[in-house]
Amino acid sequence: MDFEPEHWLKLARENPDEFERARKEAIETLIASAPPVVQDRLRGLQCRIDLERRKAKTPLGAAIRLQTLMWDRFETLRAALNDLKNVDMSATPAETKPTASAAVIPFVRARPADAGEDAGPRPSPG
């Protein structure tokens, strides 16, 4: 998909409604070209972007809101990568088991009250 800034700028200035229609079409085409497993996530992100744009009173305000959203996502990714960097990958599975333990209580099969009854479930009174 070729992106020609001059074309989009001219379209936005001369015909804002057509610009918006073409923008949505280009975005949907791009999302549709992504692997199916990520398309819903991309549509969700685009929805968030569109909401941020609507909340802004000016185009500059929209750009600032989107920049903030981008940096928030970047910071979340950076923190996750730093957490992974601090994981000791040389530990063996035995070393990574939880240190807490608990006593296991064995279940004992209930004995029938009468030798002729089977040990199956009993109807509840009531």
In a domain, 48, yes or no: yes
Q: What is the pLDDT of residue 52?
A: 95
In a domain, 123, yes or no: no
Q: What is the pLDDT of residues 94-111, one digit of tens each?
A: 566 666 777 888 888 877
Q: What is the pLDDT of residue 13?
A: 94
In a domain, 43, yes or no: yes
In a domain, 24, yes or no: yes
Q: Look up residue 22 and give its two tokens.
A: 């073409």
In a domain, 107, yes or no: no
| Domain count across the chain | 1
Whether 83 shows a pLDDT value over 80: the answer reads yes
**Domain range spanning residue 27?**
5-86
Q: What is the pLDDT of residues 3-49, one digit of tens each?
A: 899 999 999 999 999 999 999 999 999 999 999 999 999 999 999 99
Q: Is 41 exposed, middle or buried (0-12, 13-18, 19+ CB in 10 A)?
A: exposed
In a domain, 77, yes or no: yes
Confidence of residue 121 (pLDDT cuts 50, 70, 90): low
In a domain, 103, yes or no: no
Confidence of residue 62 (pLDDT cuts 50, 70, 90): very high
Angle of CA points 7, 27, 51, to nearest 5°? 110
Rounded CA gap, 51 and 14, in Å? Answer: 24
Q: Look up residue 126 and give its two tokens.
A: 């009531």
